[in-house]
Structure 1
């Protein structure tokens, strides 16, 4: 029996997809665990042919490649079956409000199936996680140092106490994570990100940033891409080549001077390469 108190089925679901854009991306796998009021768990997993190529950077994350789904049904062919399994169930998952539900609804609409979520209750575990375990300096000090930040004395929100707390937090992070290997979520490679060395810490902290405001970043291929707006995730060089006016718009826009300087550097570099 589960601890959850439910009066109707609660369908936990997760999607593996070709990307993160609900408009252009497609589902390649859908898993549903339906918790029943009597404590039973019903599980269904479907591989899905997305009908479009799966980018290698996405495959590196979820391990599903074009060949793995080439002979699987499309979502349109599965839509009625999935809808029937979800019939009468509320929905639950991790970050489903911002990603999984919008993309799932979009897929149903493309398949001409009216999947209505307005009459379903939704539980998003990520929202609870972020609410109850805030990502603040005080929370970090409590987690890593095992004490309340007020134990450092003075005003808990003063600059002096914050900097002292950060000193202790970084020390404890190095002790805890030095030499610990993790799997990179983008490339799939196993690496050891934290070392007791400032060069390594600098690389970890700034490795994919182009400008300090984060308007541009390096993708898995090492290309500078925009991180916002209509050209989000598109290479800067490609955008400036196809739409030169975008550079002028950013230079006249309300962007930090440092961002404009970095953009200009990229534009000049691109011009030199094209000579």
Structure 2
């Protein structure tokens, strides 16, 4: 397929390329005050072999030239990319290697497009993508880029349409919203035609708001976005270092807490009006001040964020505002103990769980494996436990300790010891029995029961492994860890009983050990509390564990070894991962 152009022009050759403005017509480097009615716009769409302008190539160019709301020309050509077209791209676009075999190479197609678009302003849906490929062609041909900044219908849609009206600004979603006559098909000309209609519908929305020129359109912001932009001064004085930021409201209340690698850049992004979360726009409109805390590195910022969330419970944060609110499996203090779901952990507990039903399900599996009762019938002064099974051997009332003969206090104590061992990390036997039960049910073709058992077993493995990891960290009185810093040097953390006691940064060229010694000397005192995590908030301990186990991290010193149970649940994490994948 050769180039198809519905406008009369002379084909360019490489000899014509001199990089001068005269070749392409006089095109302003900025919009000036060009009337939208008089402006010549070329709406362009590309199909490519992939998403990288450097590594991938164009397979099709489609463009529509419009002026005053009328189509005055179209341009379409397949392009030989000079490289294989990946199967997923063929499936998406329908463009095969056979179709582009006789098509022009990108250099020839690009020059033809330049002639078609001379003197115009380019428009594209997600202009950064299309312009990236077109500019790359210009660079390879050593041709000066002759166009002013393009108009992007993604950006315009985000500024003109409300989130309620247009939750998505994908071309297909906008085409559906505006009920355009040409729907996008992942072919360049069809998509360019659809983009033209979307552009015209967007222009209709702002025509009665005094938007008359290309410059006014490019700089247009809705009233809501303008109110957000008016708050930019709140973030202009922030540093460019990592840390935590706090948006405060009219009565100095904390509205929102977040972390950032670059405080100024992150906070300024809230005033652009591009955040899809409606509550964030509402929060910014209420904000009167932005406070910040500079941090040595990402771990310190993450920990400080968690602590500030717990302290202030900001109205516009949805996560981590109640870090100690979870469910735990604990052994009751009854004469014949059983596993109970509780808000308060003891030293021998499993958790935390975010879902009470999941906690109860895992508790049931452990009760089955250890032989603990799940009934509430044994009295305070009982000398034995006896829940009789029915004639078929099934447990009456569902008690997991049902047996044909009474269970004495001494015999039951052995079962309790087994459950305690599981909670402390020796869970290999119970985990293997639960996995074997999945296989038995599947072999018996009881597939629904097998699936339920699989999901419960995976939840048990994941929770036990997580609890064992965090317990191993939290029992260590002091742990000093160093991790390479992106800019050179070392990120340093002093961890005591699963909590960050101090943090610092030894920059490139600075001896790290004196910094470590100063951090240890000034570190916060942490007294271990009750529970398997020694009082550490689970989210903070989990954040620290991830940080100290990432590639490159080194233990500088430890008051005792950081060890996991030899027969812990971590050995079966691969099984639980496969079980979760099977559920999808």
Scaled by the length of structure 2, the TM-score of the pair is 0.23
Scaled by the length of structure 1, the TM-score of the pair is 0.47
Q: Which has the larger radius of gyration?
A: 2
Q: Which has the higher contact order (CA 8 A, sep 6+)?
A: 1
